[in-house]
Amino acid sequence: MKLFLKIFILAFALLSFTSANAVTIKWLHLNAENSPNMPGILKAVAEYEAKTGNTVELQYLENESFKAKLPTMLQSNDRPDIFYSWSGGVMYDQARAGFLRDVSGVVSDDYLSTLSAAAANAFTFEGQRVGIPTHVAQVAWWYNKDLVNQAGVDVSKIIYWEDLLEAVKQIKSAGITPICLGGKDKWPVHFIWTHLHIRNGGQDLFLESLNNGGWGRPEYVKSGEQMLELVALEPFQKGYLAATWPDQAGMFGDGKCAMALMGNWMYGSQAANSASGEGLGDDNMGMFNMPATKGGLGDPGDTLGGINGWLFSSSAPDEAVELIMHYVSKETQSVDAANGAYIPVVKGADTSIKNPFLKQVAGNIANSKYHQIFYDQFLGADIGRVVNDVSTDLAAGIISPEEATAQVQESWEFNQ
Amino acid sequence: MKTNMRTYYMYLFLFLMAATIFIPLYVSVMGGFKTVGELRTNALGLPSNWNFDNYLSILSNNKFWLYLWNSVVYAIGTTFFVLLFASMTAFVFAHVKFAGNRFLYNYFLLGLLFPFATAILPLFLRVRDFGLLGTSWAVILPQIAFGLGFAIILFRGFFKQMPSELFDAAFVDGCTYAQFYFRFTLPLSTPILATVSVITLTGSWNNYLLPLIMINDESLYSWPMGIMVFRGEYFTDWSKVLAYVSLTLVPAVIFFFALQKFIVAGLTGGAVKE
Amino acid sequence: MKSQKFDVILNRYSTLIIFLIPALTVFTLFVVLPIGEAAYYSFYRWNGYGYPEKFVGFKNYAYLFKNRVFIMSLKNNFYIIALSLFVQLPFALLVALMISDKIKGATFFRTIFFLPYILAEIVAGLIWAYIYDGNYGLVAAIWGFFGIDPIFMVGDKDLALIAILIVIFWKYFGIHMMIYIAGLQAISKEVLEAAKVDGAGPFTIAWRIKIPILLPTIRLSVFLSILGSLQLFDIIMPLTGGGPSNVTHSMVTYLYYFGVMRMKFGFGSAVGVIIFLICFTIAIAYQRILMRND
């Protein structure tokens, strides 16, 4: 008995010793089981664990729950080492509060040079590198080729905002719902308003407003007026204020409307949410960029979208950074890109994109001089939600363009 | 004949009400058996194909049972302490005369006046500072605290109803308060204990916000947090959600059926006679 | 003699201490102190990280009193109270009167009516969100049956609140019914028998005898109903999220949406304090005016 005990203790001690050197990394993500992002993550984790003997704990939270829990989670001892981020204002708040780790020392220049510079920069704050980007996205007008042809509209002729309005009129008179919109979730609506801001105001004006205020400028009021022109045509589906984003995607995938202004993830979502599960099919879908506005200070090639990635919490070990550097590699990103999971940030991985839409988007972003991150992320939790609210109010026709910008200005002032 | 007509109308009315109340529940349970597509086309009817996949995949998923178990732990933990602490406190309020009796009683009633959502951050910081974050106590202790108010009202009402002769007799025999509490009060309080149990168990079972804030470790998730596992960022699988929701109804309904006699008896026993 | 009296006093005070301490401690630590802290935070601007640093005095409160959405949420809370008091409670009373008489199937009806109450609020919200869905929900199927275009209640500024009120009725009707049933069953049989012997019909008995005896119970139910209405939260979130255009917020959803989710915890605390003060005032008023309750 005593011998057995001794052996047991010895074995236990040995085990503890080996595991004492192994590190456990907690990785919090927002991908549902069937998300196309998961295979890449799982493979990278398996490879990393095998290579280093460290353990990776993957944790999943749903989108809204994640946002709700973030402040408390980052202050608990259970906090994840790695977590998802849309960069922008929310990230800046976290960095300012000291919840992120500066990993500049761990990320080598060699590795950095493999990433697109713009994307990598999005994850810095006041000189500190707090995260690593993973993919980019763009918002554009998705359209249903069949329906658009039925209405006799030629999308290649849509150059200016007025052309878009004309097209909407034409589609409507053909008895087709012009635009699907998820008004209940609000963020799909804010794309319209803010994309017009990008066209009307351009990058310099945005930075000026961000730093010094003045959101009530005429360029931005004009966006509201233009949006109201659209709303006046009654282009949205019945009950659009009660529709959620999955509703919107499903509707588009079911062929119930001609167009939707949405990020490139619409490609997968419209199929997943459709009644048949198949969606519209590649042949029947198209994408065109937000048209220019006459007299706008922005460039028609400017894009609205996201730069998403992974942040490191203040207590993250070096191993966590190494794990991400392993995951965000040309190898993994090429495979994911080929599967149409997302648009990669690692240089050269974009050549693997087979999906024509993602290719188009990748090209747009690469050529864009001004890629604005979604306002509702970039401006932070408070101002961002105000933007969502006023956009939806505009779409519902209950506030004026001046009131909309005034509310944003008020929120901005409150947060100084 | 008049009475018959009246009875007939009464039953008609009751049945219509019951149907209206019941339909949403029926639709959810049936919904779990349908595909997402069918949910849209055939909302009211019986499923054309009884698709057991959703229910089966949930039942066979270990996580489901883990979440249920956690909810059970939280519920029982909370209820046990609420029963103990609240009954002790109410006992004192009902039987012991002392200065500040009324004041302290009202103090506890404060708990009813406070929406939990306000307390999220202060509560979180308190739990964190006590080093309890990430343990079951992070959920159980606040739930006990917020549940005390109502429980004390119910217990006190019930205790006051108890015949005072019993008390006087025991006292003459040299019985201490504590002895009386254990030997007489508790055994006679079965109805009210059951009532408070049902209310506390249900409250804890259904609590969504508190565990969401306090628990980060997936192995300690309660079942409402499991709902979000079935709702991805870009896709809501309604039939899975409905199946999940229907399954979690089962324990709640069982509690209720087991204890429903006591609920009425407990409420009758004096709580509502305040 | 002396030692006996001493024993009694010792007994009394030691009991007091031992019996009261556990509840007092837990309650103070986890309810009262957080209330105090929330009041403290309400004077700050704080994004939830670290500790509050930016003192702003009464600014949060001043903003609230001018805020259109907050005032609307106050109004909504009072609509909900009105619904409860003037529709839900009378209905619950009516049904309780019908069922408490040990008619056939009383238990069956009781169970059905009570079921919604045991549902988690968030689950009830989800189920009804599905039902109200104008495209794919039950409501759509029903309208479709009649050949009318479905109305999207949840997305309609004017109808959304009504949609919510229906769900609230559905969910809480049962608990009030149960309370009334309990109260009714406690009415002594002799009184009822005597009335019947005197030739009183069921309506008269109900109106002249049962209800008057039931008044304390009714008062309790009203009190709980008002407090509950003021704290409504979980049920609104999945249904409308406070929308469309922020017209269906209750005070607590307002707190959550504009305070917690926007990382403005000082502001959210101010809302919480106001809710608390309103509940507190009502509780005191109730006690003074109606004397007996609590």
Smallest CA–CA distance from A266 into chain B, residue: B234
Sort out which chain A residues have CB atoms less than 8 A from C157's CB and list them: 241, 396, 398
- Rounded Cα distance between A160 and C100, Å, is 71
Per residue in B213-238, pLDDT (tens digit) is 788 777 888 888 877 666 553 345 67
Smallest CA–CA distance from A34 into chain B, residue: B232
Per residue in A212-239, pLDDT (tens digit) is 888 999 999 999 999 999 999 999 998 8
pLDDT of amino acid B235: 47
Q: In the predicted model, is pLDDT for residue A414 greater than 50?
A: yes
Instruction: Work out whether strand A285-288 and strand A259-263 pair parallel, antiparallel, or are unpaired.
Output: unpaired
Is B235 part of the contact surface with chain A (CB cutoff 8 Å)?
yes
Which of B42, B132, B212, B216 is most worth mutating to test chain A (most A CB atoms within 10 A of its CB)?
B216
pLDDT of amino acid C18: 85
Which of C20, C170, C175 is most worth mutating to test chain B (most B CB atoms within 10 A of its CB)?
C20
Assign A18 a pLDDT band (cuts: 50, 70, 90). Answer: very low
Sort out which chain C residues have CB atoms less than 8 A from A251's CB and list them: 135
Q: In the predicted model, is pLDDT for residue A253 greater than 60?
A: yes
Q: Which residue, B257, B220, B228, is CA-closest to B245?
A: B228
Instruction: Work out whether strand A303-312 and strand A371-373 pair parallel, antiparallel, or are unpaired.
Output: parallel
pLDDT of amino acid A72: 75
Residue range A7-13: mean pLDDT, rounded = 55
Q: What percentage of chain B carries pLDDT values higher than 90?
A: 11
**B228–A65: do the CB atoms touch at under 8 Å?**
yes
Smallest CA–CA distance from A380 into chain C, residue: C262
Q: Which residue, A146, A182, A363, is CA-closest to A261?
A: A182
Q: What angle do CA B64, B69, B71 make, to 5 degrees?
A: 100
CA distances from C187 to C22, C178, C205 (A): 36, 15, 12
pLDDT of amino acid B273: 44
pLDDT of amino acid C5: 66
Sort out which chain B residues have CB atoms less than 8 A from C42's CB and list them: none
Residue A269 is nearest to which of B213, B214, B234, comparing CB atoms? B234
Assign A19 a pLDDT band (cuts: 50, 70, 90). Answer: very low
- Between A188-192, A375-379, B231-235, the lowest mean confidence (pLDDT) is in B231-235
Q: What percentage of chain C carries pLDDT values higher than 90?
A: 9
Beta bridge partners of A56: A25
**C153–A242: do the CB atoms touch at under 8 Å?**
yes
Smallest CA–CA distance from B243 into chain C, residue: C127
**C27–B88: do the CB atoms touch at under 8 Å?**
no
Is C186 part of the contact surface with chain A (CB cutoff 8 Å)?
no
pLDDT of amino acid A366: 84
Q: In the predicted model, is pLDDT for residue B2 greater than 70?
A: no
| Cα Rg of chain B, angstroms | 23
Is C244 part of the contact surface with chain A (CB cutoff 8 Å)?
yes
Q: In the predicted model, is pLDDT for residue A276 greater than 70?
A: yes
A241 min Cα distance to partner chain C (Å): 5
B58 min Cα distance to partner chain A (Å): 14
Is C256 part of the contact surface with chain B (CB cutoff 8 Å)?
yes
Which parts of chain C sit beneath pLDDT 70?
Answer: 1-7, 101-102, 134-137, 141, 143-144, 148-150, 290-294
Which of A96, A251, A414 is most worth mutating to test chain C (most C CB atoms within 10 A of its CB)?
A414
- Rounded Cα distance between C173 and B129, Å, is 41
pLDDT of amino acid A5: 58
Neighbours of chain A (3+ CB pairs under 8 A): B, C
Taking the CA atoms of residue A291, residue A294, residue A300 and residue A303 in that order, the dihedral angle to the nearest 10 degrees is -70
Residue A396 is nearest to which of C133, C244, C261, comparing CB atoms? C244
CA distances from C139 to B77, C26, C129, C132, C148 (A): 41, 46, 10, 5, 11
Which amino acid is present at B113?
Answer: L
| Residue carrying structure tokens 């905002």 | A161
Assign B265 a pLDDT band (cuts: 50, 70, 90). Answer: low
**B146–C30: do the CB atoms touch at under 8 Å?**
yes
Q: What percentage of chain A carries pLDDT values higher than 70?
A: 94
**C186–B44: do the CB atoms touch at under 8 Å?**
no
Residue A398 is nearest to which of C132, C245, C263, comparing CB atoms? C245
A85 min Cα distance to partner chain C (Å): 16
Phi-psi region of A54 (alpha: psi -120 to 50; beta: other; left: phi over 0): beta
What is the pLDDT of chain B when averaged over all its residues? 79
- Rounded Cα distance between A253 and B232, Å, is 18
**B118–C272: do the CB atoms touch at under 8 Å?**
yes
- Rounded Cα distance between B225 and C191, Å, is 51
Per residue in B91-125, pLDDT (tens digit) is 888 887 778 888 888 888 877 777 777 777 788 88
Neighbours of chain C (3+ CB pairs under 8 A): A, B
Residue range A378-398: mean pLDDT, rounded = 90
pLDDT of amino acid A145: 93
**Stretch 24-53 of chain B: residues touching chain A, C-beta under 8 Å:** 36-37, 40
- Rounded Cα distance between A304 and A266, Å, is 15
Residue range A291-318: mean pLDDT, rounded = 91
Smallest CA–CA distance from C262 into chain A, residue: A382
| Cα Rg of chain A, angstroms | 23
Residue C252 is nearest to which of B24, B96, B117, comparing CB atoms? B117
Is B165 part of the contact surface with chain A (CB cutoff 8 Å)?
no
Give the rounded distance of the alpha carbon of C18 from its chain centre. Answer: 33
Say what the pTM is. 0.80
pLDDT of amino acid A4: 57
Sort out which chain C residues have CB atoms less than 8 A from B22's CB and list them: 112, 115
Q: Which two tokens stand for residue C272?
A: 């919480």
Is the ipTM reported for this complex over the cut 0.85? no
Per residue in B147-204, pLDDT (tens digit) is 898 899 888 888 887 777 777 787 777 777 778 888 878 888 887 888 888 888 888 8
